């Protein structure tokens, strides 16, 4: 991520990478052009190694049971083993890096804040 995306964007150059296929077919290469605002999303998007390239970070704090329920609603029960593995990795990441403590803003992910 640093070599293929963050460093080129920070230098004002296009970034090129191939998103993870997560066991499915290979995904096509993505090109990101430099811009005034580029969003990097994901559970570990504000990890320590990325912080020199971030201008602002938002952590969305969502209870574990809510995250699992939403994931299974989206992916179905056959995805449970993957979700169990991913969430264990997320737990270790959160314990190690404490992203909420380092974020510029922390939002609740268990509220329907998107509905007006």
Yes or no: say if 50 and 2 are a contact pair by the CB < 8 Å rule.
Answer: yes
Q: Is 58 exposed, middle or buried (0-12, 13-18, 19+ CB in 10 A)?
A: middle
Model pTM? 0.82
What CA–CA distance (Å, rounded) separates 22 from 16? Answer: 19
18-39 tens-digit pLDDT: 988 777 788 999 999 999 999 9
6 SS3 class: helix
Looking from the CA of 50 toward its CB, the CA atoms found within 13 Å total: 22
Q: Are strands 105-108 and 58-61 parallel, antiparallel or unpaired?
A: parallel
72-109 tens-digit pLDDT: 999 899 999 999 999 999 999 999 999 999 999 999 99
């Amino acid at each position: 991520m640093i070599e293929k995306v963050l460093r080129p964007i920070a230098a004002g150059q296009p970034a090129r990478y191939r998103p993870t296929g997560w066991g499915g077919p290979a995904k096509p290469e993505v090109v990101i052009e430099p811009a005034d605002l580029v969003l990097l999303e994901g559970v570990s998007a504000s990890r320590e190694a990325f912080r020199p390239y971030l201008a602002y970070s938002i952590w969305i704090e969502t209870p574990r049971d809510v995250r699992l329920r939403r994931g299974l609603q989206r992916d179905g029960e056959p995805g449970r083993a993957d979700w169990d593995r991913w969430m264990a990795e997320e737990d270790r990441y959160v314990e190690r890096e404490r992203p909420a403590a380092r974020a510029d803003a922390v939002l609740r992910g268990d509220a329907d804040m998107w509905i007006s």
